[in-house]
Amino acid sequence: MAEVRPAKVAVIGGGIAGLSAANRLRELAFERKLPLAIELYEGGARLGGALETVRRGEFVIETGADSILSEKPAALKLAERLGLGVEIVGTDQRFRKTFVVRNGRLLEIPEGFSLLAPSRIGPVMRSPLFSPRGKFRIALEPWIPRRRGGGDESLAAFVRRRLGDETLTRVAQALAGGIYTADPERLSIAATLPRFVEMERKHGSVMRGLRAAAAGRGESGARWSLFVSFRAGVGRLVEALAARLADSIQTGRAVASILPDDSGPDRSRRWRLRFADGGESVADAVVIAAPAYAAATALSAAFPALSAKLALIEYASAAVVNLAYHADDFPDAPAGFGFVAPAIERRRIIAGSFTSLKYPGRAPAGMLLVRAFIGGALNRGLMALTDAEMVAAARDEFRDLLGATAEPALTLVRRWPNSMPQYAVGHLDRVAEIERLADRIPGVELAGAYLRGVGIPDCVAGGERAAEAIAAFLDRNVLSGAASDASP
């Protein structure tokens, strides 16, 4: 009987996509009795990528992502499997309101408004957010003919066409574009909000489509609020994954290149990883869960065509400023989750959120934890501000918009350079091409936010999909000896 060597899988990147991939590989190894040796290489000193919870005293501070969309199940299913089910918390429904800045004031987004369109015209008509002309244009939406011909278009073009320019500049740019910290003139509607494209196609109107979707949801009885987190912050997901994978993780190990390696004793195709620190390692299969630009660099020598396509994915930078105030010092804090500031308002922050109103247990009694988002594709210049200037900008905005004049009790600035992939028009075609080229490379899978969804659930699902593909590949090609040897 030939001796079966375990197959080694390298996972590159310790963000949520890479951690999910490594964890799924570990689960599959156990379930299918596959002898896998899993190594996760993270270039930085910490795991989690854009998920980071900092705890200071009784404050639970999210410096990056703070919410998990419950409608997409992958992240919650993972949490359940990690034993975190009991720690999931929903948003506080008493404060389920979002505001938008108009002429320096916070106005509530009309009820039933979903990112870029309302489901009902009544609340729009009663809202001071739009001019009479803007309201009239929105009311026309159900009568605007469907777009002829296929092909992608920008979020801005879609909204302008269906609902008019005012909806774009007053709400959609900040609300929908803000999720991607993107320029809506460049953002692909097909890649970011395909359900609106589908509503237009199916119902001839996004307003009709939204009403149909709401009617459908009414019957299903959702278990969770739209967004959820964990009692001790989204970082719990990272901590639980890190604990499970402890033996497999190496931090401070940036992968510089991935090269084919045929020098093994059985001459099967393997992969040689070269690290930035000069070290090397050989693996039978690789999940690349680093950002597109890092994947492009690592693959440039061996796979220039794929590398060139990956390098086309652009990224934007942002910063998050957390501030804690005594609640009494923030008299005008609106009872809501937060607000967005459209570019047309020319503020120095793109959004603000009232973290401790949104989720329970984020701040000690009598304190209010808020955060401000700075930067994004439309405000690249602001990333040059120093930390102190960023705090000052956030404070100025909270003072002007909400009357918070007091000194914050706590401030924390976190920069996220090149961390928001931009889904530019044509993104889905670019990704299809990337996947087609990657499919030709045996035993290498790609995962991460730049592919088919930036949200945490998308990244979990993408990482897990990559793990399934790698396990199937190894089972077929590297471990098939193990299966036949094991049989009588």
The pair of structure tokens assigned to 64 is 């990056």
Residue 431, interface with ligand FAD (CB under 6 A)?
A: no
Instruction: Report the C-alpha gap between 377 and 481 in whole angstroms.
Output: 51
258 sits near ligand FAD (criterion: CB under 6 A):
no
- Nearer Cβ to ligand FAD (44/481): 44
**Residue 67 vs 127, nearer CB to ligand FAD:** 67
177: contact with ligand FAD by CB under 6 A: no
Applying CB under 6 A, does 454 fall inside the site for ligand FAD? yes
In the sheet where 255-261 sits, what is the strand order?
255-261, 270-275, 280-283
Q: Distance between alpha carbon 232 and the CA centroid of its chain, in Å?
A: 19
Using the structure block, give the residue that is written with the tokens 């209010």: 368
Stretch that binds ligand FAD, among 158-166, 199-207, 261-269, 284-292 (CB under 6 A): 284-292
Number of chain residues interacting with ligand FAD (CB under 6 A): 38
Question: Applying CB under 6 A, which of residues 21, 448, 467, 469 lies at the interface with ligand FAD?
Answer: 448
* Beta carbons of 407 and 299 less than 8 angstroms apart: no
Q: Is 15 among the residues that bind ligand FAD (CB under 6 A)?
A: yes
Question: Contact between 42 and ligand FAD (CB under 6 A)?
Answer: yes
Residue 465 beta carbon to ligand FAD: minimum distance, rounded to whole angstroms: 13
Among 16, 350, 391, 431, binds ligand FAD (CB under 6 A): 16
C-beta of residue 413 within 8 angstroms of C-beta of residue 321: yes
C-beta of 203 vs 231, nearer to ligand FAD: 231
The least CB distance from residue 212 to ligand FAD, in Å, is: 25
Structure letter (DSSP) for residue 57: T
Q: What angle do CA 56, 59, 62 make, to 5 degrees?
A: 90
Classify the C-alpha dihedral 202-206-211-216 as positive or negative.
positive
Cα distances (angstroms) measured from residue 256 to each of 295, 303, 310, 417, 485: 9, 14, 15, 19, 37
378 binds ligand FAD (CB under 6 A): no
Report in angstroms how near the CB of residue 66 gets to ligand FAD at its nearest: 5
- Select the residue interacting with ligand FAD from 4, 5, 37, 44 (CB under 6 A): 44
Rounded Cα–Cα distance for residues 268 and 134 (Å): 64
Residue 320, interface with ligand FAD (CB under 6 A)?
yes
Q: Is 316 in the site for ligand FAD (CB under 6 A)?
A: no
Residue 223 sits at the vertex; the CA angle it makes with 218 and 224, to the nearest 5 degrees, is: 105
Applying CB under 6 A, does 334 fall inside the site for ligand FAD? Answer: no
Q: Which stretch binds ligand FAD (CB under 6 A): 67-75, 103-111, 130-138, 142-150?
A: 67-75
The two tokens of residue 343 are 């570019």
Q: Which stretch binds ligand FAD (CB under 6 A): 24-32, 193-201, 414-422, 430-438?
A: 414-422
Interacting span for ligand FAD (CB under 6 A) from 169-177, 208-216, 382-390, 449-457:
449-457
Nearer to ligand FAD, 66 or 345 (CB): 66
Q: From CA 114, how far away is CA 98, in angstroms rounded?
A: 11
Which residue, 244, 262, 211, 183, is CA-closest to 420?
A: 183
Query: Per CB under 6 A, does 13 bind ligand FAD?
Result: yes
- Residue 261 has φ and ψ, to the nearest 5°, of -140, 115
Taking the C-alpha atoms of residue 127 and residue 272, their distance in angstroms, rounded to an integer, is: 60
Candidates 49, 134, 235, 443; binder of ligand FAD (CB under 6 A) is: 49
Comparing CB distances to ligand FAD, the nearer of 207 and 469 is: 469
Least Cβ distance, residue 290 to ligand FAD (angstroms): 4
Q: Which is nearer to ligand FAD, 14 or 352 (CB)?
A: 14
Q: What is the DSSP string of 296-321?
A: HHHHTTT-HHHHHHHHT--EEEEEEE
Q: Could you say which of 10, 29, 36, 51 contacts ligand FAD (CB under 6 A)?
A: 51
Q: Which of 11, 21, 24, 67 binds ligand FAD (CB under 6 A)?
A: 67
Q: What angle (nearest 5°) sits at the alpha carbon of residue 485, between those of residues 479 and 486?
A: 95
Q: Is 425 in the site for ligand FAD (CB under 6 A)?
A: no
Quick one: 16 or 469, whose CB is closer to ligand FAD? 16
Distance CA 344, CA 359 (A): 30
Window 178-217: residues binding ligand FAD (CB under 6 A): none
The pair of three-digit structure tokens given for residue 179, joined into one six-digit string: 């999720």
Q: Is 419 in the site for ligand FAD (CB under 6 A)?
A: yes
If the CB atoms of residues 207 and 451 are measured against ligand FAD, the closer one turns out to be 451
Report which DSSP code applies to 485: H
Select from 291, 334, 352, 375 the one that contacts ligand FAD (CB under 6 A): 291
- Choice between 212 and 232, CB closer to ligand FAD: 232
Phi, psi values for residue 268, rounded to 5°:
-75, 155
Q: Which amino acid is at 62?
A: E
Cβ–Cβ < 8 Å for 253, 277: yes
> Under DSSP, is residue 350 helix (H, G, I), strand (E, B) or coil?
coil
Rg (CA), the chain: 24
Among 34, 116, 254, 333, binds ligand FAD (CB under 6 A): 254
Footprint on this chain of ligand FAD (rule: CB under 6 A):
12-18, 41-44, 49-51, 64-69, 254-255, 289-291, 294, 298, 318, 320, 416, 419-420, 448-449, 454-456, 459
